[in-house]
Chains A and B, each alone.
Chain A
Amino acid sequence: MDFTNLDRRGLLRGIGFAGGTAAFAAWMPAWAQPVSQGLAAPLPTVSGTDITLRIAHHTVVIDGRRSAAIGVNGTVPAPLIRLREGQMVRLNVINDLDKDSSIHWHGLLVPPQMDGVPGVSFPGIKPRSSYLYEFPIRQNGTYWYHSHSGFQEQLGHYGPIVIDPAGTDPVQFDREHVIVLSDHSPISPEAIFRRMKVDAGHFNYQRQTLAGLLAGRDQRLKDRLDWGAMRMDPTDISDTTGAAYTYLVNGHGPKDNWTALFSPGQRVRLRFVNASAMTTFNVRIPGLRFTIVQADGQNVMPVEIDEFQIGVAETYDAIVTPTEDKAFTLVGEAIDRSGMARATLAPRAGMTAPVPPLRPRPIATMKDMGMDMSGMQGMEGMDMSAGMGSTRGVDPTAEQNASGKLATGVAAAVASQTGMAGMDHSNMQGMPGDSGTKQGMDHSAMGHGAMAGDQSMTGMDMGSMNMRDFSKAPQVKRGPGVQTISPMPMDRTGDPGQGLEDVGHKVLVYKDLMALDRNPDVRAPSRSIDIHLTGNMERFMWSFDGEKMSDVHEPIPFIEGERVRVNLINDTMMGHPIHIHGHFFELVTGHGDHAPRKHTVIVQPGGKVTWDFTADAVGDWAFHCHLLYHMEAGMMRIVSVRPKGEAQ
């Protein structure tokens, strides 16, 4: 193995790779090259105190096709920034674009003027100028950075950050790989945004059709009529889909097949970052189990799972221990199953493993509209109606992007229209007895026939239920931007996420996460506030409490040191990854003083998430949905933290 320091800071190690792929090498940071040896194990010394980052236009080649992008230091994704807890870092960011730019250090606790949000934390970086970010590194873990200006993030302006702990890392591993998931489109982000604005469901090519109805797929007629009466589309899972996107691993398309190397028996640490603009991924490696050891850069009690959903801007660190001398496929399936990101874990370069087919796309249920079906006696089965669409099979005309054609061999043969694809009963033996398991089991059982006839229940109460009852959310401003109010929003942190209810193996749920260390602040919150996530899918309007960023500029106020409980209530039929700048919050999921600490959390459709946080960073901070086009449609607010007494 010829390890070569490619980076002047000596942070990265990579290997030149021969053959046709050599051409790509120049455009990729070492860790993102077509074949990755893995990052160096934590280095004893880090010299990264002065780092220069240059933002500029760039061309990428993805699955053989060129397209325009914005890169940093000539690469997409931007270079990995590897730091050590306790150090100071000076990052000189040069903007070579012809428009303003910025960098936000996602998840890093920095002074407000270093947070990188134009108009909130600083004026932005003008064209042909630079900004010096300088701050101490107060934490460790996996993070990332990205532009907070316009649509630049969609164009490739994102990269990972890894911070090694000051002391011993409680996570033991032999080799590590950074895995940056993202979405890339040949269509300009301005055009993507406008098309969604003027044409609801523009990128959805997996809708319900007459052909599907006649073929007995998806919803039955009555349900279709019920949903039509509400002017809602249950197949509206993602706004921007595989019809527009190629899904990337470290900047490589599914055909490029980025490959991470391992030696059998090694504990391999995979540092996942979802740097997408719009895509929630369901991540799995058929044949391997993940041990989740970190979420959003914070260590968690190890939890063993088969698959996890990662929202935009979340990070997860997972350990895999492949013992066999064979290749494994890493699948990052878009939540709407319109395409996948694909990579390979292999002992040697050039090896591949079968690629599983894309699973049937999910269909939204009443639960996704904020109906508490579990409250109804004898209705337990109804919670699982989410899987019903897929048990009847998906519309025969549904389209997926090119990655769907990668399915090979045995995996492809197993694929069927029954919705049971990818179900592996053998995996069920090892499942720990937690809440997620029970659901998985029930579903698999029901998938074999017990469900027949229950479908009609999904339509129950639809006519009589007022889906826009503002008395349920008095603080929400009534207006065209609010299509629905969840009548009975439920805590869905025990749910595995849309389309993962019936996959037949253990899927991570938020309630599985427990902080490894005791939370730093275990006081009771002195107050609680509700924030409603609101939107109109027809008009592509998105907001908090019915008001867009452009409507108001009154911040959400906090007093320095105050501990507050925040209830995020999703009044829309779409999941939203909500991110607060400058702070971590502790999810209220039943783990007391070992609550998982996060910077971004998915609020499932029609659901709610509660978190506590300590407003300990004085300044103004951005608070927004991390779906880029939702934020750009107005789903953002300012959070202000001021010393007590000052804010009178």
Chain B
Amino acid sequence: MIRLASALAASASLLVNQPALAQDHSQHQGMSMPGMQMPTPPKPSAKKPVAKKPGVKKQLRRQGMPTPALKPSPQAPTKPDEAMEGMDHSSMPGMDMAPPASATQSSQSMPNMDMQDHSQHGATPQAAHAGMEMTGTALPAGDAPAPPPPSDHYADRLFPKAEMDRARAKSMREQGGRTVYQVMFNLAEYQARAGRDGYRWDGEAFVGGDINRFWLKSEGEGAFGDRLESAEVQALYSRAIGPYFDLQAGVRQDFGQGPNRTYATVGFEGLAPYLFEVEGALFLSNKGDLLGRLEGYYDQRITQRLVLQPRVELNLSAQDVPENRLGSGLTNAELGLRLRYEITRQFAPYIGVSYDAKTGRTADFARADGEDPTTTSFVAGVRLWF
């Protein structure tokens, strides 16, 4: 059978491997290997190749030679460093190697050896205790196949299955399957500017697990004493698609001035290299208009609690939407710089400045309406989450 064959092959490989390993060792300076001779390995019992190995080793010891790593089977482990592992950990301490020698050993003599392992050979005084014997954790691992996983739960033999099922389900749910939520307003502010002062918010909330989440996003602005200028709410399904990014899709509903459109939305949100928080989305309205948005901010910590947040929001349109006073191309750019103080991580008042510029044909619409296409605001607000 296979086992018999591999056991026989193992004993054969013992003969083959022995000199090679000895050779390796002999390259170590300061190493004494007296009485080197090739032992005849005992013929291992076909039934228990593993259990037989200590016997082989004992035999070797009796013949007065240090036991180099025995290969349990001819199928050498595929990774070279694995093959060397037994040697790394074992052969050295017991081998009377002069401590300075180990320091000068280089990867030349043992190309696959992990350099780190050399440090241990440097004369830990206790190591001498292990003597010349090579056993226990010094031995290399074989390559026996892993057993198949059992199909039952052991505790079901000892407790009612229904009770165990309940406890298992709970344990699965708790250990990795918990639901979390967060409600955050990155912007919630008063805007002081020429003309009527205004307000602005940008918030989001989610609930769900690690991968699948339900999101609500909302942003908007207006002037005090006037109608809501613009506002929107998005309801999104979000799925983690990588370590840093979520893919999001859902609907957006606009409120405020002009016709209130409904959009289908697809977008992304995540953490870009250099720790920029970014998000982007495409919006297709029920009238067939396509809009887009890119948003990003960066939290520059000045101290542990004082944070400067530059923020950019760009809105785009694929076409003119005169009823919403949007021109094709970049419709507006909002640049903000906000300085917050984190009284706690969850509550941080801030002050800052926000500059909003309508651009291109959108600016033309604004001018035609008698509005200034640019607005500069000094802002004060609170960034908060719970």
Contact = CB atoms under 8 A, between A and B. Distances in A.
A binds B: yes
22 contacts: A112-B158, A207-B301, A207-B304, A209-B301, A210-B300, A210-B301, A374-B116, A375-B107, A433-B122, A435-B122, A438-B119, A512-B126, A527-B141, A538-B244, A548-B175, A548-B177, A556-B149, A559-B147, A589-B120, A593-B135, A593-B137, A636-B175
For chain B, which range describes its interface: under 10, 10 to 19, 20 to 34, or 35 or more residues? 35 or more
Interface stretch (A8-16, A120-128, A178-186, A413-421): A120-128
Contact of B176 (A113, A205, A619, A634): A634
Contact of B116 (A150, A438, A483, A492): A492
A356 B342 CA distance: 30
A548 B210 CA distance: 10
A397 B304 CA distance: 6
Contact of A526 (B141, B148, B172, B173): B141
A342 interface: no
Contact of B89 (A375, A399, A590, A632): A590
Interface in A472-514: 480-483, 490-492, 494, 511-512, 514
Given A230-B273, A434-B123, A522-B54, A593 B180 contact: no
B135 A557 contact: no
A504 B278 CA distance: 44
A468, A494, A527, most chain B CB atoms within 10 A: A527
Contacts of B269: none
Nearest to A644: B147
B275 interface: yes
Q: Closest 4 interchain pairs by CB?
A: A634-B176, A119-B171, A548-B176, A593-B136
B114 A490 contact: yes
Given A595-B136, A632-B175, 9 more contacts: A228-B273, A303-B126, A397-B304, A491-B114, A523-B139, A526-B144, A554-B149, A612-B136, A648-B148
B144 A592 contact: no
A371 to B, nearest CB: 12
B385 to A, nearest CB: 8
Contacts of B70: 524
Nearest to A201: B345
Contacts of A123: 155, 159-160, 163-164, 166-167
A246 B139 CA distance: 45
B153 A620 contact: yes
A642 to B, nearest CB: 5
B148 A590 contact: no
A620 B155 contact: yes
A483 B243 contact: yes
A611 B85 CA distance: 12
Contact of A558 (B139, B147, B242, B271): B147
B51, B130, B147, B345, most chain A CB atoms within 10 A: B147
A524 B155 contact: no
B154 A619 contact: yes
A112 B240 contact: no
A555 B168 CA distance: 13
Contacts of B168: 119-120, 553
Given A549-B176, A550-B173, A550-B175, A434 B124 contact: yes
A494 B119 contact: yes
B117 interface: yes
B292 interface: no
B302 A210 contact: yes
Nearest to A375: B115
A434 B130 CA distance: 16
Nearest to A433: B123
Contacts of B271: 231, 538
B148 A550 contact: no
Contacts of B120: 435, 494, 511, 589-590
B363 interface: no
A222 interface: no
Nearest to A230: B273
B177 A523 contact: no
Contacts of B182: 194, 198-199
A211 B303 CA distance: 6
A518 B175 CA distance: 37
Interface in A288-329: 301, 303
B287 interface: no
Contacts of A210: 300-303, 308
Contact of B172 (A199, A550, A592, A631): A550
Contacts of A565: 141
Contacts of A483: 243
A197 interface: yes
B146 A374 contact: no
Contacts of B272: 231
Contacts of B107: 375
Nearest to A196: B180
Interface in B109-138: 114-117, 119-127, 129-130, 133-138
Interface of B: 50-51, 53-54, 70, 72, 82, 85, 88-90, 92-94, 99, 107, 114-117, 119-127, 129-130, 133-150, 153-155, 158-160, 163-164, 166-178, 180-182, 210-211, 240-244, 271-275, 300-305, 308, 345, 385
Contacts of B117: 491, 590
Contacts, number: 305
B70, B120, B129, B171, most chain A CB atoms within 10 A: B171
A519 interface: yes
A539 B304 contact: no
Given A225-B274, A527-B144, A647-B148, A206 B154 contact: no
Given A123-B159, A434-B122, A523-B54, A529 B172 contact: no
A111 to B, nearest CB: 9
Contacts of B115: 372, 374-375
Contacts of A23: none
A102 B65 CA distance: 53
Interface in A517-554: 518-519, 521-529, 536, 538-539, 541, 543, 548-551, 553-554
Contact of A494 (B54, B116, B240): B116
B142 A527 contact: yes
Contacts of A207: 301, 304
A62 interface: no
Contact of A595 (B137, B181, B244): B137
A228 B271 CA distance: 11
A529 B146 contact: yes
A555 B155 contact: no
Contacts of B273: 228-231
Contacts of B116: 372, 374, 490-492, 494
B114 A301 contact: no
Nearest to A437: B122
Contact of B167 (A119, A562, A632): A119
Contacts of A265: none
A522 B154 contact: no
A633 to B, nearest CB: 6
Given A435-B120, A592-B90, A586 B137 contact: yes
A527 B77 CA distance: 10
A551 B176 CA distance: 8
B136 to A, nearest CB: 3
B180 A301 contact: no
B130 A592 contact: yes
A519 B141 contact: no
A24 interface: no
A185 B85 CA distance: 43
A492 B115 CA distance: 11
B76 to A, nearest CB: 13
B133 A197 contact: no
Contacts of A208: 301
A33 to B, nearest CB: 35
Interface string A190-205: 0001110111001001
